[in-house]
Amino acid sequence: MAKTRELVGRRKAIRNIRKITRTMELIATARFKKALDRAQEAEAYTRKIAELASDLASAGGEITHPLLAVHDKVGKSLLLVIASNRGLCGGYNAGILREANTRLRSNREQGVQTRLELSGKRSISYFRFQRVAADATYIHFEDKPRFDEVEALANHFLELFTTGAIERLEVAYMRFLSPARQTAVVETLLPLAKPTLTDSKNTAPAKANNRVVEYEYIPDAVEILGQVLPASFKQRLFKCFLDAAVSEQIARRVTMKAATENADSMIKLISRQYNRARQAQITKEISEVIGGAAALQ
Amino acid sequence: MASSSKQLRCVVVTPEKAVLDQAADLVSLPMSDGELGVLPGRQALIGNLTTGVLRLKIGAQSVRLFVDGGFVQVRDDTITVLTPRAQLGSEIDLEGAKKSLTSSIPKDASAKVIKEHHNTILRARAMVHAAKGL
pLDDT tier, A224 (very low <50, low <70, confident <90, very high otherwise)? confident
Domain ranges of chain A: 2-20+262-296, 28-252
Is A209 a residue whose pLDDT tops 70?
no
> Residues 43..102 of B with a Cβ closer than 8 Å to A: which?
43-48, 70-71, 73, 75-76, 80, 82, 84-85
Burial class (CB in 10 A: 0-12, 13-18, 19+), A118: buried
Closest-CA distance of chain A to residue B14, Å: 6
Cα A135 to Cα A165: distance, rounded to the nearest angstrom: 13
Q: Let me know the angle formed at the C-alpha of B130 by B127 and B134, rounded to the nearest 5 degrees.
A: 120
pLDDT grade for B131, boundaries at 50, 70 and 90: confident
Q: Could you tell me which of A187, A172, A180, A171 has the C-alpha nearest to residue A251?
A: A180
Tell me how far apart the alpha carbons of residues B13 and B80 are, in angstroms, rounded to a whole number.
8
Read off the pLDDT of each residue in A195-205 and give the average, rounded to a whole number. 49
**What is the pLDDT confidence band of residue A60, given thresholds at 50, 70 and 90?**
low
**What is the SS3 assignment for A193?**
coil
Provide the mean pLDDT of chain A: 88
Does residue A16 carry a pLDDT above 90? yes
Could you tell me which chain A residue has the CA closest to the CA of B35?
A: A218
**Span A2-20+262-296 CATH architecture:** Orthogonal Bundle (1.10)
Q: Answer whether A2-20+262-296 and A28-252 agree in fold.
A: no
CA distances from A245 to A6, A35, A103, A145, A233 (A): 41, 7, 22, 8, 19
Residue A268 has pLDDT above 90, yes or no: yes
pTM value is 0.85
Q: Is the peptide bond before B84 cis (omega within 30 degrees of 0)?
A: no
ipTM score of complex: 0.80
Fold topology of B8-89: ATP Synthase; domain 1 (2.60.15)
Closest CA to A172 of A119, A211, A234: A119
In this structure, are residues A90 and A174 in contact, taking their beta carbons and an 8 Å threshold?
no
CATH code that applies to domain A28-252: 3.40.1380.10
Of all helices (H) and strands (E), which one includes residue B71? strand B61-75
Tell me the pLDDT tens digit for each residue of A63-116.
778 888 887 778 899 999 999 999 899 899 999 999 999 999 999 999 899 999
B-chain residues near A222 (CB < 8 A): none
SS3 state of residue A182? strand
Residue to substitute from B13, B32, B119, interface A, most A β-carbons within 10 A = B13
